[in-house]
Chain A
Amino acid sequence: MIRKISTVLLALAAAFAVGGLALYRHEPINALWILTAAVCIYLLGYRFYAAWIAARVLSVNASRATPAERLNNGRDFVPTHRAIVFGHHFAAIAGPGPLVGPTLAAQFGYLPGTLWILVGAVLGGCVQDMIILLLSTRRDGRSLGQMARDELGPLGGFAALIGTLIIMIILSAVLGLVIVNVMKHSPWATSTVLATIPAALIVGLYLRLWRPGRVLEGSLLGVILILLALLAGGWVDHQPLLRPLFDYAAVALAGFVIVYGFCAAILPVWLLLAPRDYLSTFLKLGTVVLLAVAIVLTHPQIKMPAVTAFTDGTGPLFGGKVFPFVFITIACGAVSGFHALVASGTTPKLITNEADVRLVGYGSMALESFVAIMALIAATLLDPGVFFAINSGAGVVGASPAAAVHTISSWGYPVTVEQMQALANAMGERTLFARSGGAPSLAVGMASIFGSTFGRGLLALWYHFAIMFEAVFIMAVLDAGTRVGRFMLQDLLGHLWQPLGRTSWYPSVLLASALMVGAWGYFLYIGVIDPNGGVNILWPLFGISNQMLAGIALSVATGIIIKSGKRRYALVTLVPLAWVALVTTTAAWQKITSADSRIGLFAAADDLARKLASGVLPPERAAVAPQLIFNQRLDAWITMLLLAILWFVILDMARVCVRRLRGLPLRSSSEAPYQLSRLQSATAQAQP
Chain B
Amino acid sequence: MATPAYETHEHDVIVIGAGGAGLRAAIEAAAQGVSVGLVCKSLLGKAHTVMAEGGIAAALGNVWPEDNWQVHFRDTMRGGKMLNNWRMAQLHAQESPERVLELERWGALFDRTKDGLILQRDFGGHRYARLAHVGDRTGLEMIRTLQYHGIHQAIDVYMECKVERLVKDGDRVSGAFGYWRNTGTFVLFKAKAVVLATGGIGKAWKFTSNSWEYTGDGHACAMWAGADLIDMEFVQFHPTGMVWPPSVRGILVTEGVRGDGGTLKNKAGERFMFNYIPDFFKGETADNEKEADAWYLDKKNNRRTPDLLPRDEVARAINSEVKAGRGSPHGGVFLDICTRRPADYIRKRLPSMYHQFKELADVDITTTPMEVGPTCHYVMGGVRVNADTTESTVPGLFAAGEVAGGMHGSNRLGGNSLSDLLVFGRRAGLHAALYAKNMGGRLTVDAGQVEKMSRDMLEPFTRSGGENPYTIQADLQEIMQHLVGIIRTESELKDALTKIEALKERARKTKIDGGREYNPGWHTALDLNSLLTVAECSAMAALERKESRGGHTREDHPYTDDAWGKLNVVLRQREGAAIQLTKEPLPEMPAELKALFQERK
Chains A and B come from one and the same complex: no
Residues on A lying within 8 angstroms of B by beta carbon are none
